[in-house]
Amino acid sequence: MKNILIILTLAYSLVGIAQYEILHINSAWNVKHNLDLKGIKYAKVKYLLLEEQTLSFKQQIKSVPTIVVLQNGKPKGQWSGGIALKLTVTKEDIEDHIEKLMAQQRLLYKK
């Protein structure tokens, strides 16, 4: 019985954990302005070159570099370089944003 409770608890916690992914989108000519997200907590990072994406994806990006935080595949935060073509957000800012999303998620599961 104890083992069943442990398995159910683990299964519930795995289902309850939101999955976070960070898309770092930039153009090949602007890679010098990539943000180093190595070692970022709580999320998997994907670096994408805009030139290698589909037309519909390219049309959604208004400026490079752009960082998008996805929670279970849905956008939950975005930062763009704007006219300067350089991001002002830091790795710590992104981690803080994800921590806030995680706190909101925990509140939902407590209700």
Rounded CA-CA distance 50/88 in Å is 19
Instruction: Tell me the per-residue pLDDT of 34-91, one tens digit each, with 9 for 90 and over.
Output: 999 999 999 999 999 999 999 999 999 999 999 999 999 999 999 999 999 999 999 9
Assess contact for 48 and 71: CB atoms under 8 A: no
Mean pLDDT of 16-29: 88
Among 67-71, 95-99, 104-108, which is the least confidently predicted range? 104-108
Contacts of 109 (CB under 8 A, 6+ apart): 16
The pLDDT value recorded for residue 108 is 78
Residue type at 68?
A: V
